[in-house]
Amino acid sequence: MKLKYFLQLLILIIITVILIIFYFSFLSEKNDKNKIVINKIEEINNLSNQQDLNILTNIEYNSSDENGNNYYLNAEKAMISQNIEDKNNVKLENVTSFISIKNKGIIYIYAKNANYNKENHNTLFYNEVKIEYLDNLINSDRLDLNFTDGISKIYNNVIVASSNFKLNTDKILIDMVTGDIKLEMLKKSDKVKLITNYEFIN
């Protein structure tokens, strides 16, 4: 009798193991098929997105205004949408730019990325933005160059450095006509922090 029960138990265990193996094998195969389908969908979407874009290399834009200020922009890569709604917007990579403000000097700008508007020349620089102006080096996350309003904004992790000082502020405003600079903090109670070679000023 004991042998009979043992054999029945053994058969039951074998059947259970076979069912478990079959079940997980089926699930694994199903998951693999799902992954393949998802990858195919992503490939199709990427291909579709690329077909909606004109991709250009080493592109340049030049413009000037009625005040005699000049604007130059160069990018290693430019992606221009073929959609009518976005026809004026250009996504740029590895960007070098300069603005020559009459009687004030030249602002040099470098960034990994930018969004450029071909109609009004407004440019939004982002990712490792560096600005050189009046012997100062400004680092930030963002620079919104706004020719429409005549005021540009440097913001997010702003650090200004020169041979004589280092300065931390939340935001810098640049008048695109006069070239004048204004420093601002997001909270009125906060103060701009300035470190010189001689002392710390808060």
Superfamily, domain 53-201: Lipopolysaccharide (LPS) transport protein A like domain (2.60.450.10)
| pLDDT given at position 56 | 85
- pLDDT tens for the 202 residues of the chain, in order: 556 666 667 777 777 777 777 666 665 555 555 555 556 555 545 544 445 568 888 989 888 877 778 899 999 999 887 776 777 889 999 999 998 887 778 889 999 999 999 888 899 999 999 999 888 899 999 999 998 888 889 999 888 887 777 878 888 888 887 778 888 776 565 555 555 554 444 4
* Cα(125)–Cα(100) distance, integer angstroms: 17
| pLDDT given at position 48 | 45
* Cα(77)–Cα(60) distance, integer angstroms: 10
